[in-house]
Amino acid sequence: MSEQPKPDSPVAAKVFPSPNHGERLGADGMPRRPDMLVLHYTGMPDAGEALQRLCNPAAEVSAHYFVFENGHVLQLVPEGRRAWHAGKASWAGERDINSASIGIEIANPGHDGGLPPYPAAQIAAVIALSRDIVSRWSIPADRVLGHSDVAPERKLDPGELFPWEELNRAGIGHFVRPAPVRGGRFLSPGESGQPVEALQAMLAMYGYDIALTGRYDEATTAVVAAFQRHFRPERIDGIADASTITTLRDLIAGRPAATVIV
Ligand SMILES: [Zn+2]
């Protein structure tokens, strides 16, 4: 009789293994430990089907943990292994986000399914699980991210209804109170010049993968929208209004000391 492996986290009820994983490797080809947490929604109408897909070898996708709507948590991939959740992605100069991170899939139909709110029991489980993971791996607050942060041109998850502020109040992730949305000067798609380059530099300083072109191009619009989705969810339009820029500036200024770039 084979013995069921124990989950890495006590928050997970049990292991429900996915074969979709590999070895974590750093840029130097040496084994790498995770120092990032990436949160996802499944984006499928049915949680059971989403779970099946994450365990299907043909799908070639997975995550370390799966959180049902009722807060039930399964572990699919051991934390020491590289799960296949982020795809083509980048953050703070790193491109192999799967090697760098632990991934949590949160069952939710997503934007295609009308973006239903996350139930309280599910968020409580995400908070308990995230708290356990970030404390055991010493993951910095500003490296708890959404899939949309690390793949802004491809992904919208976990979406603007994900309660990042509530996680922050529970001690998980980096967040500052967003500056109020009101009028004033703003930068928008199509513009170019030094102020656009300064905006791109601030987004890059925070970690977003963005080229300093000085042109407010499609990539810039996608990154600004991703930033808003996480940090200023009241309005997601890809336009860098005063509230967006002030919120970004406050985030950079309020960054946890251990991770300030010097
Ligand atoms: Zn995702």
Report how far ligand 1's centroid is from the alpha carbon of 144 (Å). Answer: 14
Report how far ligand 1's centroid is from the alpha carbon of 11 (Å). Answer: 21
Residue 55: pLDDT over 60? yes
Distance CA 230, CA 159 (A): 8
Other beta carbons within 10 Å of 90: 18
Strand 144-146 to strand 65-67: parallel, antiparallel, or no bridges (unpaired)?
unpaired
pTM, entire model: 0.96
CA 51 vs CA 101, 129, 155: distances in Å: 20, 18, 19
Annotated catalytic sites, by residue? 105
Mean pLDDT value across residues 97-105? 98
pLDDT score recorded for residue 2: 60
> Residue 238: is it exposed, middle or buried by C-beta count within 10 angstroms (0-12/13-18/19+)?
buried
- Where in the chain are the domains? 14-170, 191-254
Residue 1: pLDDT over 60? no
Please give the share of the chain, as a percent, with pLDDT higher than 90: 93
Report how far ligand 1's centroid is from the alpha carbon of 41 (Å). Answer: 6
Residue 260: pLDDT over 50? no
Please give the share of the chain, as a percent, with pLDDT higher than 70: 97
Report how far ligand 1's centroid is from the alpha carbon of 193 (Å). Answer: 33
- CATH number assigned to the domain covering 14-170: 3.40.80.10
Residues 6+ apart with CB under 8 A from 222: 152, 153, 238
Considering only the top CATH level, what class is 191-254? mainly alpha
pLDDT bracket for residue 5 (50, 70, 90)? confident
Residues 6+ apart with CB under 8 A from 31: 23, 24, 25
Distance CA 240, CA 244 (A): 6
Mean pLDDT value across residues 205-211? 98
The Cα diameter of the chain in Å comes to: 68
User: Minimal CA–CA distance to 220: which of 190, 255, 244, 246?
Assistant: 190
pLDDT score recorded for residue 262: 43
